[in-house]
Amino acid sequence: MGERGFAQSRPAGFGFELYAKDIPSYFELCNQETLLLPMCETAGFLNQVEEIAALPGVDGIFVGPFDLSVALQAPGQFDTLEFNAALQRIVAACQANAKPAFIFCANPGMAMRYAAMGYQGLALGIDLQVLVASYRSLVQEVQQELSKQPQE
């Protein structure tokens, strides 16, 4: 199922006391902590989800709901019967193989909904969206404080 690259850098944990200190133990640790999560974002994947979930080495399935909604001819429509049936089918395929189902969640409401469906891995937000929202909040706070200051 592919080959591991070798990123012997601090961000990868190489050389840290809590991580591996030598190359063989580094590879062993990385292999223990790596998950293989194929992305279900197409109708073709959905049509084979049971077979894919059963593959040795596959640790679970990760759903990209936006792309999946496009593949199901209903872009951004997450409340259709077909979309919800697809999500249930994916969870069932994972559960049948004792593997977790993961899904991207654009907001806390989606996270709660998908958790109730049986999704165990919830990716909440996108790094860029979180960063932009944080900066907007900071700018608003500064603007509010500046507006309280007397004008000269």
| In the predicted structure, residue 14 carries a pLDDT above the cut 90 | no
- For 38, phi then psi, to 5°, come to -60, 145
pTM of the complete model = 0.74
Contact 33, 45 (CB under 8 A): no
Q: Which residue has the higher pLDDT, 15 or 45?
A: 45
**pLDDT of 4:** 57
Pair of tokens at residue 43: 């109708």
Contact 31, 23 (CB under 8 A): no
| In the predicted structure, residue 1 carries a pLDDT above the cut 60 | no
Q: How many CB atoms sit inside 10 A of residue 62's CB? A: 21
Closest residue by Cα to residue 128 from 106, 150, 111: 106
* Mean per-residue pLDDT, 128-142: 90
Q: Which domains does the chain have, with CATH numbers?
A: 1-34 (no CATH), 39-147 (3.20.20.60)
| Least-confidence region, from 107-111, 128-132, 139-143 | 128-132
